[in-house]
Chain A
Amino acid sequence: MRTIIKLACAALLCGTGVAQAQHAGHSGAPKGPMAPDWTAYPVLASGGGFSRTGAKFQAFNMHVMEAASYASFDGQAEKDLAQATRSLPVDENGALAVKSGAQGGYYFVRVVGHGPGGEEATATTLKFFSNPGPAPRDLLNIARPGFEIMPAVLPREHGHYRENETWRFNVRMDGKPMAGLAVALETSNGTRTEYTTKADGSVDVTFPHDFKDIPKDQWSHGRPPSSKFVVAVRNGGLLATYNDSYNLDAYGDKNLWAGVGFTMLGMIAAVPLVRRRKTDKKGA
């Protein structure tokens, strides 16, 4: 028994050095975002300074004219959208900050300007703050002016987009679905794929299995870091993008058969306790 307790303590503490190092990393000075070398599409990158009440962003690959944030809300009326919309100041380098206040978890950040080819471009991303507030359903589905590509549904809190998973996005122009448009998916792991929107303006995007080449020295907590992706769609002289991050496959750092094996071991250990013994038969 003493040996088991010693082994358990060792297992618990074996990550101590790592944990403390990670804390040191967390409290370090925030670094500014690097310009993405994996895509030429307009994207919004995290600009550091994230807290539960606000976050900074930096737009890349576009010249930003205006910026806004959209908090999640309940309702489908224009006034609901207007109440949830905040115009954001943006500097000449495309840096901006969004404040969540104490309420609301889901915030979309959108910048409008000119893309790399001079086209009218809209780039959108999402920030989730751990605050109570409405679900983002209405925010995702309400008719907004302009050309946009938006997720149909978001990963739940503690959930993520992951390798090999298929998620739906909607392409709309002034709230109306746009069919037959080519949607490009680019990831920071080097994948380039293209899809086409269906009649209802939706497109099902499968996140590629492309984490395998990330060097181990970039891993944290025993797994590779999140990777970036952007989905982009053009319509004439208009360009709309949505960027976010995705994670390793659900089973990428797991072994199903080992887990089943340990379950079987537990079952085998319990079998003697539920078997009929000779004393049971005598007593019966």
Chain B
Amino acid sequence: MTNLFTLSRLRLSVQVVMLVFTVYGGALVGHYLSDKVTGALPALSCAYDQKNAGYCVLIPLQHQLHHRVGESIVRMQQFSFDYIIPLGFTILTFLAFFVVLNKAFCGWVCPLGTVQELLYKIGRRLRLPVRRFTQASVGRVRPVKWGVLILLVLVLPLMAGLGYTSYVTGDAYCQVCPSRVVTTLLTANGEQIAANTADPTAFAFSAARSAIVGFVLILAFGMRQPYCRVCPMLALHAVFRRIVPLRLAKKASGDKCGKCKACYQACPMDIHEVAFEFGAKAFHQDCTMCGRCVEYCPDDGMLALKLGPVALFSSSAAYMKRRAKVDKPDGTLPNKKKPAPNPAPAE
């Protein structure tokens, strides 16, 4: 019975509630943009979903760079701070939300993250093999998210505003974002999975988007959070993660630590630093604050989810033993012990 109450189960409950809220929450908060919780949510809650409760911050970032900053630079004689102020407000609104949950927006709120986790759970039920990045290969994937943030979210929308690239690149990241397809499909809207035949550039982007969605949805059966690793939201979070009081904390030293590597095995983002580094270095830029490393750490108090100086959830050997009965660190289900054969009845 006590196995029912784990951090992972609490997180899954929050994720499911947030998935429903971010995808269908317009029924609660209202239809118009002005009704929404925010237009700068630090999670991939897509504006193409007409029934959602809030917009992802990447949408106003791209639109403001395209329509306000870029186009105002073209008309330099009209340039004024009026064009920059909305961009500043978008970033401040993002920070106002981000300061509450830090990178937990990825691990607890993002609808696309939740869908990937649910698919991985199905993969475990189907006993599909687990695919992970090695310590060497994960280093090659990590820089991709920065490239996506800089190129697709910042540079191409600005270039579109300046008139150097196609208008389609005005929201270049949204053009390829799989959340755009997944969240709209959840509302029975197939429009975003369709290939855009308006022009060759739009066609190329929409074809890439559909292919990425297909690739991610299948890969998620065998790999944890495949898309999160290249998501620009993860990079945007990483920029600000040190300024927020809620964080993953690890002790500055420990003799036993680094031997069992259960935290590394448990990490859905394959962050090996959580096992081999100490102090602030263990809170890596790719962390989504899911808390699995804390759950599977057998060293009392070595890892914790902290709000300022207050530990909200700390590692303990007793909890870890209980937790491991639900699933293994990599999410696979524990092998069921075969019941011992009944002894032959006495003659």
Contacts and interface: CB of A to CB of B under 8 A. Distances in A.
Interface of A: 11-16, 18-20, 22-23, 26-27, 72, 105-106, 132-137, 153-154, 156-159, 221-223, 250-251, 253-256, 258-271, 273-277, 280
A250 B50 contact: no
A135 B30 contact: yes
Contact of A266 (B35, B213, B223): B213
B200 interface: yes
A266 B210 contact: yes
Chain A CB within 10 Å — which of B169, B195, B219 has the most?
B195
**Which 7 A/B pairs are nearest by Cβ-Cβ distance?**
A15-B166, A266-B214, A222-B198, A274-B222, A270-B218, A222-B199, A254-B194
Contacts of B286: none
B131 interface: yes
Interface string B226-242: 00000000000000000
B141 interface: no
Contacts of A222: 197-199, 202
A22 B167 contact: yes
A12 B191 contact: no
B25 to A, nearest CB: 14
Contacts of B47: 158
Contacts of A258: 194-195, 197, 207
B128 interface: yes
Contacts of A262: 195, 206-208, 210-211, 214
B60 to A, nearest CB: 10
Given A19-B166, A253-B197, A159 B218 contact: no
B212 interface: yes
A154 to B, nearest CB: 7
Contacts of A221: 167, 198-199
Contact of A135 (B34, B163, B200): B34
A280 B129 contact: yes
Nearest to A283: B129
Nearest to B161: A23
B32 to A, nearest CB: 4
B187 interface: no
A15 B191 contact: no
B148 interface: no
Interface of B: 30-35, 47, 50, 71, 74-75, 123, 128-129, 131, 156, 160, 163-169, 181, 190-191, 193-202, 204, 206-208, 210-219, 221-223
A26 B202 CA distance: 21
A13 B214 contact: no
A135 B32 contact: yes
A134 B226 CA distance: 39
Given A262-B214, A273-B131, A274-B123, A250 B191 contact: yes
Nearest to A251: B194
A13 B167 CA distance: 10
Given A15-B168, A19-B160, A258-B194, A274 B218 contact: yes
Contacts of A274: 123, 128-129, 131, 218-219, 221-223
Given A254-B194, A261-B195, 20 more contacts: A12-B166, A12-B169, A23-B71, A135-B30, A135-B32, A158-B47, A222-B198, A223-B198, A254-B197, A256-B193, A259-B195, A261-B210, A267-B215, A271-B218, A273-B218, A273-B219, A274-B129, A274-B219, A274-B221, A275-B129
A260 B129 contact: no
13 contacts: A11-B200, A12-B166, A15-B201, A18-B166, A19-B167, A137-B32, A253-B196, A259-B193, A259-B194, A263-B210, A269-B211, A273-B222, A274-B123
Contacts of B204: 11
A259 to B, nearest CB: 4
B129 A276 contact: yes
B194 A266 contact: no
Contact of A260 (B74, B128, B169, B193): B193
B214 A15 contact: no
Contacts of B50: 156, 159
